[in-house]
A = this chain, B = another copy of it.
């Protein structure tokens, strides 16, 4: 057995991700001691019963002596939280996060991060539609990508810190990649932020029709709608912050989506079956690429052609 990567870690914000880090660090022995803090008394009370580690009286108390600090609040709170804990951060400590937006998260943390503390923004591409301390579980990060967006700091200390943090996430089962904050935010805008926005929107549209259709939207949701409601059940506060802090990339991606949708709408209105066929067939290709890349486990035979037309 190897020694834990860190002696002590601190987790600020004990929702799905914060609680899962505590479970995973305990299960896979990645940290000797865990301290956590959440601004919500209800979350702290629940965490005391279900999250491994010790609840602290304040964020500053939690981070004292910690080798690595994980910000797991919604992205919009990162600036304020970093300012609050700045004086208590140990020299040489790592400050990282799990925010879904990286450019804004990095700049908000950097503005308040003291010299001598190694700021290494990060984002685990993992989650469920559940939220809260009791939603956390140890295996959440197994085989998931973890994206680090390190600063342009060539010092040996900083490189060592990035190496340690990489080792920590690998111990939790994640596959670690590094990229720039800007690239991260563009890639996630299409792979995560836009899908969530669309899911929230379609559920909202149906909600207004629901009164019209007298409960039948719920009753017949197995036709495809149900999958969207699952995605749209994600934490509203977290997602509000994602859209407000990754505005440019989301709006750019949304613009492309709306253009493409207008083209499909036009094809439907004019009965242009060839265009629909072409677009729908193309959509299968990317599904195949995802399965080929081992990013999903379904076995679908895409070589199969439509059987009747």
Spell out A's residues near B (CB within 8 Å). Answer: 13-15, 38-40, 42-43, 73-74, 76-77, 100, 125-127, 129-134, 144-145, 147, 183, 186-188, 190-210, 213, 215-233, 235-241, 243-244, 247, 250-251, 253-254, 256-258, 260-261, 264-265, 268-269, 271, 273, 276-277, 279-287, 289-290, 293, 295-296, 298, 300-302, 304-309
Interface centre among A129, A241, A243, A301 (most CB of B within 10 A): A243
Contacts of A229 in B (CB 8 A): 283, 286-287, 290, 296
**Interface pair A307/B264, CB less than 8 Å apart:** no
Q: Evaluate contact between B191 and A281: CB separation under 8 angstroms.
A: no
Q: How far is the CA of A290 from the CA of B209 in the complex (A)?
A: 15
Q: Which chain B residue lies CB-closest to A74?
A: B309
Contact across chains for A199 and B224 when beta carbons are under 8 A apart: yes
Residue among B188, B232, B307 making CB contact with A15, cutoff 8 Å: B307
- A250 to chain B: closest residue by CB: B268
State whether A298 touches B230 (Cβ < 8 A): yes
**Does the CB pair A306–B230 fall under 8 Å?**
no
Question: Who on chain B is nearest to A309 by CB?
Answer: B237
Are A230 and B296 touching (Cβ within 8 A)? Answer: yes
Report the nearest B residue to A209, measured CB to CB: B190
How many copies of this chain are found per oligomer?
2
CA distance A109 to B164 in the complex (A): 68
What residues on B are CB-neighbors of A226 within 8 Å?
Answer: 290, 295-296
On whether A257 and B201 interact (CB within 8 A), knowing A125-B220, A233-B283, the answer reads yes
5 more contacts with CB within 8 A, not counting A230-B287, A233-B283, A244-B273, are A125-B223, A218-B289, A218-B290, A233-B284, A240-B276
- With known contacts A290-B229, A309-B74, A204–B260 Cβ distance under 8 A: yes
- Are B280 and A200 neighbours in the complex by a CB distance under 8 Å? yes
A sample of 29 cross-chain residue pairs with beta-carbon separation below 8 angstroms, ordered by A number, consists of A39-B309, A40-B308, A42-B307, A43-B308, A77-B309, A125-B223, A129-B300, A132-B301, A132-B307, A144-B222, A187-B216, A188-B220, A190-B205, A191-B206, A191-B216, A195-B202, A197-B264, A198-B228, A200-B264, A200-B280, A202-B257, A209-B256, A218-B289, A218-B293, A221-B296, A235-B306, A236-B281, A236-B306, A243-B276
User: Which residues of chain B are within 8 angstroms of A127 by Cβ–Cβ distance?
Assistant: 223
For residue A229, which residue of chain B has the nearest CB?
B287
* Minimum CB–CB distance for A185 against chain B, Å: 12
A187 to B216, CA, bound (A): 7
Q: Does B39 contact A308, Cβ atoms closer than 8 Å?
A: yes
Complex formed: what's the CA distance from A13 to B309 in Å?
9
A205's partner among B199, B215, B257 (CB-CB below 8 A) is B257
